[in-house]
Amino acid sequence: MEHDFLPDEWQQFYADCVNCRACSLGELRQNAVVYRGALNAPLFILGEGPGEKEDLQGRPFVGRSGHLLDTLLQAIDLPLDQVHIGNIVKCRPPGNRVPTEAEATSCEPLLTRQFDLVKPKIVLLMGATAYKYFTGQSDPITKIRGMWQRHRGMDVMPTFHPAYVLRNNRHRLPLYDDLLAVKKRLESTLLEEKNHEQV
Ligand code: URA
């Protein structure tokens, strides 16, 4: 991918991701997978880690899970210019296994820099791994999905991972409902900000 068009601080960040060897996943990747969507976005959608297609293309959620995510975002009419999509780890774990705690911890400084650049107000955590490594908590996703939490100064919604929904179709509606709740919160947050600016 060509990234000359990115603002300076993003170019530096991107280069640091592409050159990262903080854990052994960096030795195995075809491409570091950093983001897709808007650079500055009020909503950050966070997944687990790249799969095969993402590793080949260098972009997150471009396989079957991504297709479902895009379909749902389109269904609820959530504009992509309000969304930034990334993952807990930027390099594909072999065989698409779950990233280890050590790998997530190695990747954390880059993820923190990414959040500092994107400056989201709301975070959608997709799946148990994103929930665990982002919040440091390990409640079962079935128990806490759809319930707002507050972390690092942001409104955080945990939900099912699209890959899980593809395997268990009965979870499709809850994922849709959670996305809809996120869209509503996004609209009210943006409206509040606008009103605040006008005062
Ligand atoms: N699953 C994820 O968690 N992230 C991706 O980028 C693709 C599939």
Residue of 87, 132, 160 to mutate, ligand 1, most atoms within 8 A of C-beta: 87
CA of 65 from ligand 1 middle (Å) equals 7
For residue 146, the model assigns a pLDDT of 98
Nearest to 86 by CA among 130, 35, 150: 35
Going along 2-132, which residue ranges are E strands?
A: 36-37, 43-47, 83-87, 122-126
Ligand 1: atom nearest CA of 60 is 6
Tell the burial category of 152 from Cβ atoms under 10 Å away from its Cβ (0-12, 13-18, 19+): exposed
Q: Which mutation among 33, 35, 61 tests ligand 1's pocket best, with the greatest number of atoms within 8 A of CB?
A: 61
In this structure, the residues whose C-beta lies within 6 A of any atom of ligand 1 are 47-51, 54, 60-61, 63, 65, 87, 163
pLDDT of residue 1: 54
What residue ranges of the chain have pLDDT lower than 70? Answer: 1-3
| Residue 198 confidence (pLDDT) | 84
78 forms beta bridges with none
| pLDDT 10s digits, 87-96 | 999 999 999 9
Closest atom of ligand 1 to 129 CA is 3
pLDDT tens readout for residues 52-103: 999 999 999 999 999 999 999 999 999 989 999 999 999 999 999 999 999 9
In angstroms, the CA 59 to CA 65 distance is 13
Domains annotated for the chain, with CATH where assigned, are 2-198 (3.40.470.10)
The pTM of this model reads 0.96
